[in-house]
Structure 1
């Protein structure tokens, strides 16, 4: 399951920062309670595996990054596995039906890659105790349900450093889906990274209230540009923000995938995830009978989150500062949420010399100093 990740600085052409890689968490990652690993009965054929995506797998974004891992897995395992993919499946009744159908079809390992699938997974998992389910960005485990996600905020901090060094107006724009802890971690880490290189910067956020709504995401982009934001990023699942930035000629840091084809002239970098190592390890665990329902939250040291394709126009001094921060996170000698940190109402949320605990991060409900606005509340 080991995969070497190398930080590369190109002397000519594109500069690439290959660091190591959507959902809510409300409890700290922990080892799931101790159900004994279930042995897989000898099968006459390949291990049947399924992936369920919330958006089109061919479109740049969240599902595409999972599907790239799936493609790599098929090359890695060859005829030892047989893979089914189902895409564009919304949460709710549709996801429950699809998960049940996949289990009935004999799939023994199902990767469900959207937070909204959680209730459906838990229900179907009870009906099929011999099927193992892996839920991306979830937080509820069961004897045959494991959860996994990445510390996206680590690469967000690095992206913020790049944005803070690039802006001319000192206004950064952020298109965000919903105000859950994972999204707030990203906004706050991005702001902290930006302010580490540019104390005068501010971050403006427009919420779409949806993970995948290209129309709203494009409109939010235009709104932020109208507010003088001259570098944008997003925590949404479509490529609409990158596409709008390319049209408007505004620099953008993409999310989920490096959207070079979507924003060929305006891409500053991409915050991406890397799932292949994790998926490979879970497949091997099913095959050798050691699978158990873990709760995994991996970051840069675990190769689960990346900042890639830094624009070649980026000053070398900026790239070097980003590399230093990356190295610190890779060695766990630096953490983005290290105090003193105040929220944008002046309250100390992380004391000087302290690091925010996983529990505090997973229950984050505040915006850091430098973010304009308040956390939306549900009506």
Structure 2
């Protein structure tokens, strides 16, 4: 199963508002996490584990945390969640889309346990969901990529062809094209969130096609290592990946989960926790544009930061018309903005991307 998938039914599900009672003052709250990759992946899982550490620092001896790493999506996830529930964890965070059905199944068996599922859309009285507007960050790094490419070929390593990833590819391309009308986008799919060998091979394939700047929606630092060998440029994904700065990592998209985790653990402690769905972005501090290094010219850095600030303030939406689909059909009229429902079900590339979306 995949971590993220079509979210089109999210609106119909609605946010649940049934609060679950607070914990007794003298009772330590046990909080569990399951991760799809290792905590040392340097990307997605690493950033979630920083969030776990943040709640330990915030709440001290009021809580106790544990995690299970490298949990495959599917039956293994159900076993891991059950293990955490049986161990007395009363708040459990499942941090990958493919854990969704496992969360729903296990939550039904443990109605007194609160579950939080990252990037999913299925909720229940004791299941909440949370997500980040990664496409906002892709607009910013797409701008940088469009300016920095010398070959006019930029690349994207995609994990799975699901809306979240397609949003990112489209957003990056739209904004690269705005600053560089000659830019082309190459896409390689690896069908994994964390597989350093496949990710490195994908980076090599892009470089072989003449790509000199690429982005990724996968979790390891392997693509940046390959870029370093080849003299290409790239971006940190999910975390800063600062070991590759100032080049090839010229900036990064950072997933800042700590404030959300602190808020939700606090709600569980004081009895205000309720099932709900959130989708936060740059303006909320959940999607962060990392350092833009000196490898990037000052005027390009200023342009990217201005775009970041416009998105953060709500003055600009990355999917603003006029925009057409890759098949030439109209999508957004001049000045129209894509709705969350449209983005949640995105299954097409925008005009100008010649790559195919696998079915």
Q: Could you state the TM-score of these two structures normalised by the residue count of structure 2?
A: 0.95
Match 2:36 to one of 49, 54, 62: 54
> Which residue matches 1:189?
171
Matches within 5 A, 1:1-379: 23-24=4-5, 25-28=7-10, 32-42=14-24, 44-262=26-244, 265-377=247-359
The 2-side partners of 1:229 and 1:144 are apart by: 46
Greater alpha carbon shift after TM alignment, 23-32 vs 286-295: 23-32
Greater alpha carbon shift after TM alignment, 73-82 vs 158-167: 73-82
Deviation at 1:120, TM superposition (A): 0.7
Question: 1:323–1:265: structure 2 CA closer, same or farther, 3 Å change rule?
Answer: closer
Deviation at 1:250, TM superposition (A): 1.0
* SS of residue in 2 equivalent to 1:313: coil
Question: 1:191–1:129: structure 2 CA closer, same or farther, 3 Å change rule?
Answer: same
Q: Once superposed, what is the RMSD of the aligned Cα atoms?
A: 1.5
Deviation at 1:53, TM superposition (A): 0.4
Question: 1:257–1:35: structure 2 CA closer, same or farther, 3 Å change rule?
Answer: closer
- Contact 1:231-1:251 within 8 A present in 2 as well: yes
State the number of aligned residues.
Answer: 356
* SS of residue in 2 equivalent to 1:56: coil
Greater alpha carbon shift after TM alignment, 260-269 vs 44-53: 260-269
Name stretches of at least 5 consecutive residues in structure 2 with no aligned partner. Answer: none
* SS of residue in 1 equivalent to 2:136: helix
Deviation at 1:342, TM superposition (A): 1.4
* SS of residue in 1 equivalent to 2:71: coil
Cα-to-partner distance string for 1:124-157 (whole Å, 9 max, x where unaligned): 0001001000000111001100001100000000
The 1-side partners of 2:111 and 2:213 are apart by: 48
Question: 1:287–1:51: structure 2 CA closer, same or farther, 3 Å change rule?
Answer: same
The 2-side partners of 1:181 and 1:241 are apart by: 22
Name stretches of at least 5 consecutive residues in structure 1 with no aligned partner. Answer: 1-21
Deviation at 1:33, TM superposition (A): 4.4
